[in-house]
Structure 1
Amino acid sequence: MATRILSALVAAGLIGSAVASPPPLPHSAGPPGFRSAPAPPRNVSAWLPYWDQKAAYRDALRHAAQLHTVSPFWYQAVSAGQVDGHPGAGERGVIDGLRAAGISVVPTVMETMKPGALGEILTSPTSRATHIRTLIGITKSRPYDGLDIDYETIAATGDASYEQVRAGYAAFVTDLCRALHDARKKCVITVSPQTGNTGRIWDYAAIGRAADRVRIMAYDLHWRGGQPGPLSTPSWYDEILRNATALIPRTKIEMALPAYGWDWVPGGETKHVTWKEAEALRVKKGAPYRLDAESGSPTFTYQEGEQTRTVWYQDARGVAAHLPTVRKYNIAGTGLWALNFEDPGLWPVLADG
């Protein structure tokens, strides 16, 4: 998620007619002229990007029946004793409107500290305690329902202090969750996937014992720093959840799904695109819609001058291809990065799944 702040663009408007539009999603059959529409379960959480706050807030209200939690991406930890707000942080109209719709408001605290700075906080009991007091102060500043912690500069591997930092983060989460629970607040921890060669910095078992929810960022299998490819695949999801459910109670796990993609060019700048931007670009360039069968992800190529660019992203049909793997593990629910990025067809897919 650290790349989000650096590369996420303000979401484009909804597009209209399309060239070679995606085929319609199948729906359940019923009596002629009748389609049952029971209220969908509240099994989705979603992040609300501050740079698109008004539109994302409206999107949340449109889908309030499915959302149990919204995490406005509002705060950034700068040091042990300082947490700054992004533009629009703490807006009472957003908080009150979401809560009136029955949605818990659990703002996200992220960080982009210099290498080693977060590790120093985590490995010092005094600094950890200072930081926890600072975070609890955030929860008391508004009628929040809890906090979501999304700290990612600890994720580097190979560092000599790896074991100490890993233990320090587990201790931080344990103490923070206890303090939040004492204040009758929810403790949500966002982590990257733990597979055979990734995510070792996270002590999943300790985090799972302490937190109310553990959100796994199930995306960026391929990302801006590598070669073009899908953001996720069913087989990758299977590996992630096989590892996670062995260490974290299933009732606490959320798989956070992407509503965005990457636009690659060999040797050039890779661009972040929301679903809306990707589809608008596909239509503009006249590229046919294609869902890659192996990965369950849409992709297309297009020419920009002498460059051939490749786009991989995610839409409702792709998520529908991935959900059987997620359902197999009977976890708590799904998350979405991020509101107003997504294919509108995603919501009935999540309701069915």
Structure 2
Amino acid sequence: MTGDHTQNTIYRFAIQPVSPQIHSLFSCCGMWSRMQFTLLLVAWQAHAVKYQRFCYLASWARYRADPVAFNPEDVGVNLCTHLAYAFANVDDSGTKLISADLWSDPVMYKRFTNLKKKDPNLKLLVSVGGWDGNPKVFSSLVSTDKNINTFAGNAINFLRSRNFDGLDVDWEFPAARGSSPSDRQRFTRMIQLIRQAFNTDASRTGKDRLLLTAALSPDPFRVSLSYEPAKLASYLDLISLMTYDMHGHWEEMKTPAHHSALYGTPTDVINNVAFAATFWTRLGVPRDKILLGLPFYGRTYTLSGGTVTGPGNAGNYTRHSGTLAYYEVCKILQDGATGQRIDAQKVPFLVSKNQWVGYDDEKSLAAKVKYVIDNGFGGVMVWALDMDDFKSICGKAFPLMNAVKNAFGTMTGQRTGFPSLG
């Protein structure tokens, strides 16, 4: 793995047409050297696009048993372009951003932001909310503009004083789980006012503007209930679609199904990555702001005679029925289970005794990266970096994240980050 800054940037020119002026320059320059031609292309950065690799780090991963306890120092250099520490909370008043874990602030936050010493170009964010986040405090936050503006000011102080680069919002979900129906519009208002506060802060201080991103559900029903997609996109820097958990043991299903299939089937058209991505673009969201979610964990079922009877067994380390981290999945494969593939959906699964596991591997992740590139999306989001095989239990360190990074490079011919000259 190289530490070269340019490796983080993959340029693709096919998405946007080159201007007539630049086209004329290219046409007339047959006698230019390859180096001169490369420099001219690099200069034309208005037509360049950077593929983002937005990763989450779960704060509770450090409490797992050895050898898979994951601390900030375990993050591989240059694997991600953005890294979000999950999760912070909103306080009961709805006006303050606070740590969800007393042990995180300031000790773990400082260890987290120290990653910039190894990777100066890495953008570090705090993610607020998550599934266990209290929807009531978000409802309190968005109830008035005064609350939102107070929260925004406090969030700026929180982020600046701890050396973070931005805020990631993961409210699950506006207008649901006890949240008022009007919180759909109020959520948009919250994002708008926070973005305005971040703009004002940057103008006042001369510092880079704090980033504002959000993790959002891809489900059409959830979208209609919780979001105003085009309006949100106008204020957010990036939108991470949670294109996973589209199936699971919580459903009343007799047959197991993969939770993050790339493509659908004639009988299951909606619950797949491609449908979700296309659906969001049709809502007026720019493709280059959309990141497609990649799960580094599998969803599992217990079978009896081929029929689902409940969630799969809990893993030795993650200890949640129905879920296995990739480092637990790869160990099952290493111990003799045979991986199989659902060819039409471009994803793998395995059956071990009465356990069915749908997961992602290097091949399926490469297929998803190819989909991102072919369709002009902004990149990928990973939940979660700490669930990759970072300790080389099954052979090599970070096999999934390296597969994602290398796929972007290989498929665009950009090992150095510069346009291919053929």
Q: Which residue number corresponds to residue 39 of structure 1?
A: 7
Report the Cα distance in structure 1 between the residues aligned to 2:232 and 2:325, rounded to whole angstroms.
30
Tell me how far 1:260 sits from its aligned partner: 0.8
C-alpha contact 1:233 1:322 (8 A) present in aligned 2:
no
Q: Tell me the equivalent position of 1:278.
A: 329
Q: 1:181 aligns with which of 176, 186, 199?
A: 199
- Do 1:82 and 1:134's aligned partners in 2 also have CA atoms closer than 8 Å? yes
Alignment of 1:329 onto 2:375: yes
Equivalent pair of 2:249/2:310 in contact (CA under 8 Å): no
Preserved contact between residue 70 and residue 103 of structure 1 (Cα < 8 Å):
yes
Deviation, structure 1 residue 104: 1.1
1:350 CA drift (Å): 4.0
The counterpart of 2:246, out of the listed 221, 230, 245, is: 221
8 Å CA contact retained: 2:242, 2:292 = yes
Cα distance, 1:58 vs. partner? 4.2
- Cα distance, 1:194 vs structure 2: 4.2
| Residue in 1 that maps onto 2:75 | 60
Q: Please name the residue that 2:33 is paired with.
A: none
CA distance in 2, matches of 1:55, 1:113: 22
The answer (yes or no) to whether the contact 1:74–1:89 under 8 Å persists in 2 is: no
SS of residue in 2 equivalent to 1:166: helix
State the distance in 1 between where 2:135 and 2:386 align: 32
Matched, 1:259 2:296: yes
Of 189, 195, 202, which aligns to 1:171?
189
- Residue of structure 1 equivalent to 2:82: 69
| Corresponding residue for residue 160 of structure 2 | 140
- Percent identity between the two aligned chains: 18
1:95 Cα offset (Å): 0.4
Distance 1:115 1:59, change over 3 A: closer
* Equivalent runs, 1:64-213 vs 2, <5 Å: 64=78, 66-79=79-92, 80-85=94-99, 86=101, 87-90=103-106, 91-98=109-116, 100-101=118-119, 102-111=121-130, 112-114=132-134, 116-154=136-174, 156=176, 161-162=180-181, 164-183=182-201, 184-195=209-220, 197-200=221-224, 201-213=226-238
Deviation at 1:210, TM superposition (A): 0.4
- Pair member with larger Rg: 2
CA-CA distance at 1:334 after TM superposition: 1.1
Q: 1:245 aligns with which of 263, 281, 288?
A: 281
- Residues 326, 56 of structure 1: alpha-carbon distance in 2 compared, 3 angstrom cutoff: farther
Aligned to 2:58: 49
Within 2, Cα distance between the matches of 1:57 and 1:113?
Answer: 22
Q: Deviations over 1:94-127 (max 9, x none)?
A: 2022354121111211153555553343233333
Alignment match, 1:292:
342
Can you give the 5+ residue segments of structure 2 that lack an aligned partner in the other structure? Answer: 1-5, 10-50, 63-68, 202-208, 264-271, 303-308, 313-320, 389-397, 412-422
Q: CA deviation at 1:322?
A: 2.6
Instruction: Give the alignment's TM-score, normalised by structure 2.
Output: 0.66
| 1:291–1:318 Cα contact (<8 Å) kept | no
Structure 1 residue 48 displacement after superposition: 1.4
Shift of 1:192: 1.1
Q: CA deviation at 1:59?
A: 4.7
Per the alignment, in what secondary structure is the counterpart of residue 7 of structure 2? coil
**Matched residue, 1:9:** none
1:231 and 2:259 are equivalent in the alignment: yes
Output the CA distance in 1 between the equivalents of 2:135 and 2:337.
41
| Cα separation, 2, equivalents of 1:178 and 1:202 | 19
Partner of 2:42: none
Aligned counterparts of 1:39 and 1:127: Cα–Cα separation in 2 = 42
Question: Structure 1 residues 292 and 59 mapped into 2: Cα distance closer, same or farther (>3 Å)?
Answer: farther
CA distance in 1, matches of 2:74, 2:54: 13
Q: What is the TM-score with the length of structure 1 in the denominator? A: 0.77
Q: CA deviation at 1:143?
A: 1.2
Match of 2:205 in 1: none
For residues 135 and 224 of structure 1, the distance between their equivalents in structure 2, rounded to whole angstroms, comes to 37
Q: Which whole-Å CA distance do the structure 2 matches of 1:295 and 1:58 have between them? A: 36
Contact map agreement 1:150 1:191 (CA 8 A) in 2: yes
